[in-house]
Amino acid sequence: MNTVLLLGPPGAGKGTVAEALVEKGYTHVSTGDLLREQIRLETPLGIEIKRLMDNGQFVPDDVVVGMIRGLLEAATDRQKFLFDGFPRTLAQAEKFDELLQSVAGVIEEVILLECPEAVIVERLSGRRTCGKCGTVYHVKYNPSSVTDVCDIEGCKLTQRPDDNAETIKNRIEVYKERTAPLIAFYQAKNLIHSIDATQSIDVVRSAALERLG
């Protein structure tokens, strides 16, 4: 089993790149999407997740790792996964290594999307999402044909509750403190490939596609 990880701050464009990489046969796994599904289902876990997410805090490692464990155990040997937003802490990265060993999986590559803070804030503030198909737009950089209407589903686009100024600030701080150390962790394993994510969507997507052959 092969896996590719997309690493980078919130808003760097991980989901946007992932939309393109699925063409290469990867199964896209966004832990953010999996967690939002729990919120939508209003499970007891979902209620707790919403509280944390709305504050820009991480969901506990064991919850997220448990989801990934279930997914890997149910997968076939030939499946290729693209992880977006996981792992996000050193503890998750270490657990992930153990899980991969147990299913004879490997990390092919860690694609690091490098993006400065000012760009992130602008991207997250202008992000709009389709609640039905999950397509991600940006009011300026990737607008829908009709303002605030999904091109595919024709329904109204929404803004994520955690994409407000206060929560964006918290998420950036949490990224710096808890996720940025993963760069050194994967650099030591020689797995990091960096892409300048300030370039246009097409350029960033092409760079990632090229990298994965």
Interacting residue ranges for ligand ADP, rule: CB under 6 A: 8, 10-16, 123, 126-127, 136-138, 141-142, 197, 200-201, 204
Q: Confirm whether 127 is a catalytic residue.
A: yes
- Check 36, 127, 128, 205 and give the catalytic one: 127
Select the residue whose beta carbon is closest to ligand ADP and give its number.
13
Give me the residues that bind ligand AMP (CB under 6 A), please: 10, 30-32, 35, 52-53, 56-59, 64, 85-86, 88, 92, 162, 171
Q: Confirm whether 14 is a catalytic residue.
A: yes
Contact criterion met (CB below 8 Å) for 108 and 192: no
Cα distance between residue 168 and residue 192, in whole Å: 26
Least distance from C-beta 22 to ligand AMP, angstroms? 16
Q: Confirm whether 160 is a catalytic residue.
A: yes
Q: How many CB atoms lie within 10 A of CB 175?
A: 20
Least distance from C-beta 194 to ligand AMP, angstroms? 19
Strands 127-129 and 136-138: antiparallel
Cis peptide preceding 87, ω within 30 of 0? yes
Cα distance between residue 137 and residue 135, in whole Å: 7
Q: Confirm whether 78 is a catalytic residue.
A: no
Sign of CA dihedral 26, 193, 133, 46: positive
Secondary element (H or E) of residue 209: helix 201-211
- Check 69, 80, 160, 178 and give the catalytic one: 160
Q: Confirm whether 50 is a catalytic residue.
A: no
- The binder of 93, among ligand AMP, ligand ADP, none, by C-beta within 5 to 8 A per type, is none
Q: Catalytic residues, which ones? A: 14, 88, 127, 160, 171
